[in-house]
Amino acid sequence: MTATERVTGTRDENFNLISVLYHTLQEVETLQQYIDDAKQAGDDDAAELFHKLQDDDQQCAGQVKKLLADRLRKAVS
């Protein structure tokens, strides 16, 4: 049993997925602010880049959520 598992009661692999999901969604939110700032400044190139990064993060978050849900379903069964 690892230190994380002892403290949280959650296996490291699941804890890591939860952590990645949290931080990825935080970045999606932060990027929205950057998109808004760039649009307000009239910087379409930056807004487009931030939007692409946001889309990529949303796709990654979806993959992590799916894997985590599959693992949690198996753990409950």
Confidence of residue 13 (pLDDT cuts 50, 70, 90): confident
Q: State what percent of residues in the chain have pLDDT above 90.
A: 73
pLDDT-wise least confident of 35-39, 46-50, 55-59, 72-76: 72-76
Q: pLDDT tier at 77 (50, 70, 90 boundaries)?
A: confident
* Number of neighbouring beta carbons within 10 Å of residue 4: 15
Please tell me whether the overall predicted TM-score, pTM, comes out greater than 0.75 for this model: yes
CA 27/CA 34 separation, integer angstroms: 10
Residue 5 has pLDDT above 80, yes or no: no
**Spatial distance between the Cα atoms of 38 and 11, rounded to a whole number of angstroms:** 40
